[in-house]
Amino acid sequence: MMVAYQGANAVSNKIEINSLDLFYGKFQALKTVGMSMRENMITALIGPSGCGKSTLLRCLNRMNDLIPGVQVKGNVRLDGADIYDSSIEVAELRKRVGMVFQRPNPFPLTVFANVVYGLKVAGIRNSSRLKEIAEQSLRAAWLWDLLKDKLDHPALDLPLDQQQRLCIARLLAVQPEVILMDEPCSALDPIATMKVEELMMELKKKYTIVIVTHNMQQAARVSDFTGYMLLGEMIEFGVTNDVFTKPTKKLTEDYITGKYG
């Protein structure tokens, strides 16, 4: 099994990370991390608080660039091209690799204005085009029927789970290839969480998804591959089912069975 999936790797890895080190000033938050994310699959990152999951995720669309004093070594390849290369336009990269945050964070604007934000930034002015993409994106996030009559309502008046899916719609509007999700359900109740998980299963048909989660059941339920991190290192990475049922490392087993800490 392992051999088969590694063999396929060469063809359809969307993202490849090689010996990635990251420093916040003097503090090393990532230590020679290596892993890959396959196209149209969901990859989960799990591990205890502070192990570097969010840091690793932010490396994939260079959001770490915004933090003063960050230094990155090693490389991250998107479709084979190093995203830390000096020829890369960071804004363009971020359109290809989008992000959903922990707390739903719509702008204090209308539903419509939120969905088309990325498009306006990309210079699309044509209003029928904007409406068309807004509808597509809201449909893809399962919000169209709920919100089609509320497009001019303030986004912040929506319930939290709809806000979070609105954030997903806002991201889908810029037509990313990869979606990074940092604990996207941690502010949601179980029913809303299930809804987002179902949505992820749908979205992976078109997108490559990387999700950080504290919830191991969630990782087990939605992901195809799982990476277990500890203190900035990638301890174990493989097919989700294998990581959860027959981990190769003692550390992984301890964490998964709840013995950690």
Partner 1 sequence: MRIRPRYTQWLAVTILGGATILTLAVLVFIIVFVLEKGLPVVNFGFLFTNAEDMGRAGGIFTTLIGTIVLPLLAIIVAAPLGISTAVYLTEYTVETRATKIIRFGTDCLAGIPSIIFGLFGFIFFVTTLGLGWSILSGGLTLAVMILPTIIRTTEEAVKAVPKSYRQVSFSLGATRWQTVKRVILPNALPGILTGIMLGIGRSIGETAAVIFTAGSSLRMPSSVFDSTRTMAVHFYILAREGISSENAYGTAATLIIAVLAINLTAYWMMGRFIAKRS
Ligand X SMILES: Nc1ncnc2c1ncn2[C@@H]1O[C@H](COP(=O)(O)OP(=O)(O)OP(=O)(O)O)[C@@H](O)[C@H]1O
Q: How far apart are the first and last CA of the chain?
A: 32
- The pair of structure tokens assigned to 165 is 């899916």
Collapsing DSSP to helix, strand or coil, 32 comes out as strand
Question: Does residue 240 bind Mg ion (CB under 5 A)?
Answer: no
The distance of closest approach from Cβ of residue 90 to partner 1 in the complex, given in angstroms and rounded to an integer, is 8
Q: Return the closest-CA partner of residue 182 out of 214, 221, 225.
A: 214
Question: Does residue 98 bind partner 1 (CB under 8 A)?
Answer: yes
Token look-up 């509007």 returns 173
CA distance 66 to 96: 18
Question: Does residue 54 bind Mg ion (CB under 5 A)?
Answer: yes
CA distances from 86 to 23, 78, 90 (A): 19, 14, 9
Q: Exactly one of 13, 36, 55, 61 binds partner 1 (CB under 8 A); which one?
A: 61
Stretch that binds partner 1, among 72-80, 107-115, 211-219, 227-235 (CB under 8 A): 107-115
Q: Exactly one of 105, 136, 186, 215 binds partner 1 (CB under 8 A); which one?
A: 105
CA distances from 154 to 2, 79, 198, 237 (A): 49, 38, 26, 42
Stretch that binds Mg ion, among 5-13, 52-60, 216-224, 227-235 (CB under 5 A): 52-60
- Residues in contact with partner 1, counted by CB under 8 A, come to a total of 27
State which residue, 114 or 226, has the beta carbon closest to ligand X. Answer: 226
| Chain positions contacting Mg ion, by CB under 5 A | 54
| Chain positions contacting partner 1, by CB under 8 A | 61, 63, 66, 68, 91-92, 94-95, 98-99, 101, 103, 105, 107-109, 117-118, 120-122, 154, 156, 167, 170-171, 174
